[in-house]
Amino acid sequence: MKDTLIVGGLEMENRLIIGTGKFPNYRLMEEAIRRSGAQVVTIALRRIDFDSREENILNYIPKGCILMPNTSGARNADEAVRIARIARAAGCGNWVKIEVITDQRYLMPDNEETIKATRILAREGFAVFPYMNPDLIVAKRLKEAGAAAVMPLGSPIGSNRGLKTREMIKILINEIDLPIIVDAGIGRPSEAAEAMEMGAAAVLVNTAIATARDPVAMAQAFSLGVKAGRQAYLAGLAATKEFAEASSPLTGFLGR
Amino acid sequence: MGYYDEVLSKIKDFPFDAFLKEVTTRDVLSSLDREHLNAEDFLRLLSPAAANVMEEMAKRAYALTVRNFGRVVLLFTPLYLADFCDNYCLYCGFSARNPFPRRKLTLDEVEAEAKVIAQTELKHILILTGESRQETPPSYIADCVEVLKRYFSSISIEVYPLTVEEYGFLVSQGVDGLTIYQEVYDEETYAYVHPAGPKRDYHFRLDAPERGCRAGMRTVTVGPLLGLAPWQREVFFAALHADYLQRKYPWVEVSLSFPRLRPHLGNFMPEFPVDDRSFVQIIVASRLFLPRVGITVSTREKAEFRDHLPPLGVTKMSAWSSTEVGGRLNPHKTPPQFEISDERKVEEIKVSLYGRGYQPVFKDWHML
C-alpha cells in the first residue's frame, strides 16, 4: 500500500520538505529539490521578486512542487496575516507556513502571535502550517485554531543541533491529532531519520542542505534518511516497549 | 534611560589601552572557544594579540555567517535626495562651510532616478539627505517615499535624527529601515568634529536608533565613522550599541556598518586611519560577538577588497552607488558627499558574487 501523507488537502509521498533560503544560487537549489524528490518547498514571500526576469525564485521551483510560502519577517500576527494574503493573491496557492519571530538573537517563534495568525488564516481558507516552539498546550490551541499541521522546532533555527526538543516533540506526536512536521535545527540525515522513527509526519530541512559543501548530494541524503526513518516507523519501531519485558509474564500466576 | 545611561556611561572610562595591551594570544583563543562571547571576550578580539590569530577568528566567523545567513548577500543602493546642510562636520563634503550651489531632487527627478535604478534588479533603496529641516523636512522625505514605493520593495532612510513621532510618520508612509551613524562615540572628538549646527547634540543623535526601534522600524543600522578616534573603542561602543538595541527591541533586525573615512571636498584627514587588516579584524570580531547581526559594507571600500568580505561576516552591500544628488542621471553637477571606491555596475557585482559562490539577494522584504 502506498504510504502517503494527506495534509492541507493534498497528498505527499515524499516526506522531506525543503527550505529555499541560504543556497549559493537558484540553479543549485532547483537541482537539490529535484534530486531529493521533495514535493513541498517553503519560500519566504519577502524573497520572491515577482517582477524580476532572472532573479525570480519561483522560476526555479520544479514543476509539480507544492509551494508553502512562509511569513518570514513577520513580527506579529497581523503582519503574518498580511504576508499570507499577499502570497495567495500573487498566485502562490493557499498553503502558508506561519513564522512569527519576535526574537532576532535566537530566531525563536512567538507562540502566542502564531496562534492568533493561525486562527485568522484558517478561517480564511488557508492550509495553515504554524512553526512553533514545542509546547503541548500551544499545539492544542493551534489545532483548535484550525492548523493543518503543527511544526515544532527541533532546535534553534539554523543551529544544526538536531532534536534537542525530542521529548516535547514525542508528546506532540502522541497527543495531537494532526501531522507533526519537525522544522528547524535538523543538521544531519540521521536526525531526520530519528524524527521520522519517532512518528513525525515529515521534516523540513533548509540550512543543513543549503550550506552543505554539496547541497544536491546532501538533499538526496536527507531524502534517504527521511525514507529510512519512515519505513522503520511503519515496520514497528514505534512499538518499542518503554519497559523491559519479562521472559515469563509477571501476572501469569493470576490465571485467566 | 537609554544606551548612554544604561551602558556607555559605565564603560567609557574603562582603561582600554592598558587592557588591550595585556591581552595575550592565549586569552584570545580561550575567548574564541566560548559558545557565547561576552563584551570582555569581544574586546579581546579587538586587541593587537588577536591580530596574530586572525585566520582562526576568520574560520569561526565564516562558519557562523554561513550557518546563520547562508551564502547570500543583500544588495541595495543609496539615493541622495538633497545636499542642503546646516552642519559643519569637518569630515563631510556637504558641510555648510563648503560653498557650492545646493540642490534637492524634485519629485519628478526622484522618479527618474528611481526608474533608472529599477532597471537594474535592485529592490532595496536607502535615501539620504543632509540636515536641513527647512529644505528637506520629514514631509519632503515622505513625498519622495510615496514615489519610490512604486519601484522598490524596501525603503530605508539615512537622514538627520528625528523624533519618535517623525520616525513613526515615515514608517506609516512605507519606510522600513533606519541607518544612523553616531560618527564618533568619543564625546570630545564628537564635539571637535561637529563645531556647529544641530548635529552638535551628541545625545539626540545617540538615542536616534532607539527612537527608530520604538517607532516601528524593521531594520536599524548603527556604526562609527572609522578614522575619527581610536578604532578599538569606537567599534566596541558601536557593537555594544547594537547589542543593547537587539536585547531591548528583539524584533528589530539590527545591523552594524563600519564606514572608513574617504576623501571628500575639504582637507580633513583622518587622525586614526584604519588599515585593511584592522578592518577585517573588526568584521570578524563583530560577527563572533553578535552572530545574528547584519553587517553592511559600502562602496567606500574597493571592489577587490569587498569581494573577500562576505565569507567573513558581511551580509549586505551597497551597489552602483552615487554620492551626488541625482548623480546617476546628471553626474558632476554638484560635489559628492565623499568619493566612492567600488564603481562597478550591479551586473558586475552580481557576476562577481556568483563567481565566489554567493547569491546576490535583491529583495528581502515585501512592503505590507
Report whether pLDDT(A242) > 60: no
Contact B69/A at CB under 8 A = yes
Average pLDDT score, chain B: 94
In this structure, the dihedral spanned by the alpha carbons of residues A55, A12, B67 and B180, taken in order and rounded to 10 degrees, is 50
Q: Which residue of A has its CA nearest to B290?
A: A105
Instruction: Point out which residues pair with A140 in neighbouring strands.
Output: none
Q: How far apart are CA A41 and CA A19, in angstroms?
A: 6
Residue A173 is predicted with a pLDDT of: 95
Which residues fall within 8 angstroms of residue B279, CB to CB, at 6 or more apart?
B226, B258, B260, B301
Note whether A47 contacts B246, CB cutoff 8 Å: no
Q: Could you tell me how many CB contacts below 8 A there are between chain A and chain B?
A: 84
Report whether pLDDT(A248) > 80: no
Report whether pLDDT(B23) > 60: yes
Average pLDDT score, chain A: 90
State the smallest CA–CA distance between residue B131 and chain A in angstroms. Answer: 31
Mutate to test the interface with A, among B69, B124, B246, B363 (most CBs of A within 10 A): B363
Report whether pLDDT(A239) > 70: no
Split at pLDDT 50, 70, 90, the class of A245 is low
Note whether A46 contacts B363, CB cutoff 8 Å: yes
Residue A216 is predicted with a pLDDT of: 96
Q: Residues of A numbered 95-134 whose beta carbons fall under 8 angstroms of chain B's beta carbons: which are they?
A: 101-107
Q: Identify which of B297, B358, B246, B254 has the alpha carbon closest to the alpha carbon of residue B76.
A: B297
Give the homologous superfamily in CATH for domain A5-235: Aldolase class I (3.20.20.70)
Contact call for residues B250 and A103 (beta carbons, < 8 A): yes
Q: Map residue A175 onto helix, strand or coil.
A: helix
Note whether B354 contacts A52, CB cutoff 8 Å: no
Report whether pLDDT(A250) > 80: no
Residue A241 is predicted with a pLDDT of: 56
> Whose grid coordinates read 507533526?
A180
Amino acid at B104: K
Contact call for residues B31 and B43 (beta carbons, < 8 A): no
Task: Return the percentage of chain B with pLDDT > 90, whole number.
Answer: 84
**Range in A29-43, A89-103, B134-148, B261-275 with the lowest mean pLDDT:** B261-275
Is the pLDDT higher at A55 or at B56?
A: B56
Contact A58/B at CB under 8 A = no
Is the pLDDT higher at A106 or at B31?
A: B31
B121, B253, B365 ranked by CB distance to A104: nearest: B253
Q: Where are the domains of chain A?
A: 5-235
Mind listing the pLDDT tens digit for each residue in A83-92? Answer: 999 999 988 8
Q: How far apart are CA B219 and CA B142, in angstroms?
A: 18
Contact call for residues A130 and A99 (beta carbons, < 8 A): no
Mind listing the pLDDT tens digit for each residue in B83-102? Answer: 999 999 998 888 989 888 89
Residue B335 is predicted with a pLDDT of: 83
**Range in A220-224, A249-253, B224-228, B342-346 with the lowest mean pLDDT:** A249-253
Residue B360 is predicted with a pLDDT of: 94
Helix locations, chain B, DSSP H: 3, 9-11, 16-22, 25-32, 39-45, 48-51, 54-69, 107-118, 138-148, 164-173, 187-193, 202-206, 208-214, 231-248, 276-289, 303-307, 346-355
Distance from CA of residue A111 to its chain's centroid?
Answer: 16
Q: Which residue of A has its CA nearest to B315?
A: A22
Residue B229 is predicted with a pLDDT of: 95
Catalytic residue among A97, A116, A164, A227: A97
Mind listing the pLDDT tens digit for each residue in A117-145? Answer: 999 999 999 999 999 999 999 999 999 99
Split at pLDDT 50, 70, 90, the class of A50 is confident
Mind listing the pLDDT tens digit for each residue in B207-250? Answer: 999 999 999 999 999 999 999 999 999 999 999 999 999 999 99
Residue A194 is predicted with a pLDDT of: 95
Cell numbers linked to B254 = 539590527
Catalytic residue check, A2? no
Q: Map residue B323 onto helix, strand or coil.
A: coil
Q: H-helix or E-strand containing B78?
A: strand B72-80
Q: How far apart are CA A128 and CA A143, in angstroms?
A: 10
Split at pLDDT 50, 70, 90, the class of A110 is very high
How large is the average pLDDT for residues B159-170?
A: 98
Note whether B67 contacts A158, CB cutoff 8 Å: yes
How large is the average pLDDT for residues A100-115?
A: 93
How many residues can be counted in chain A? 256
Report whether pLDDT(A223) > 60: yes
Split at pLDDT 50, 70, 90, the class of B311 is very high
Residue A157 is predicted with a pLDDT of: 80
Residue A186 is predicted with a pLDDT of: 92
Instruction: Point out which residues pair with B126 in neighbouring strands.
Output: B78, B156
Is the pLDDT higher at B326 or at A238?
A: B326
Q: Can you give the C-alpha Rg of chain A in angstroms?
A: 19
Q: Indicate the DSSP class of residue A153.
A: B
**Range in A49-58, A116-125, A201-210, B267-276 with the lowest mean pLDDT:** A49-58
List chain B residues with CB under 8 Å of A26: 359
Mind listing the pLDDT tens digit for each residue in A153-198? Answer: 998 887 788 899 999 999 999 999 999 999 988 999 999 999 999 9
Residue A1 is predicted with a pLDDT of: 65
